[in-house]
Amino acid sequence: MVEPENPNHAFTRGELIEKALGYNYEGLDRTVDSHIKNLRKKIEGDPSQPEHIETVFGVGYRMRDESGEAG
């Protein structure tokens, strides 16, 4: 599970893969995008307007807190 010490931390795809698998994955990191898409389908009211998993352009993803603010 991803629970950053810094609530504003945006995880790169590589960091998410390493946290999920426990090692540095040598394959395509775009696999993360498919998993994020599937997670959004399950947890978001409207996956095209995500409230829980925020895309950080040029970086990766971060979780939003319960108030809807990034972090």
User: How do the domains of the chain map onto residue ranges?
Assistant: 11-63
Average pLDDT of the segment spanning 6-34: 83
Average pLDDT of the segment spanning 1-28: 78
Read off the pTM: 0.73
CATH fold of 11-63 reads Arc Repressor Mutant, subunit A (1.10.10)
Asked whether residue 5 carries a pLDDT value surpassing 80, the answer given is no
Residue 2: pLDDT band (50, 70, 90) is: low
Neighbours of 60 (CB within 10 A): 20
Give the H or E element holding residue 53. Answer: strand 53-56
Give the H or E element holding residue 54. Answer: strand 53-56
Q: How far apart are CA 70 and CA 32, in angstroms?
A: 20
What single-letter amino acid sits at 3?
Answer: E
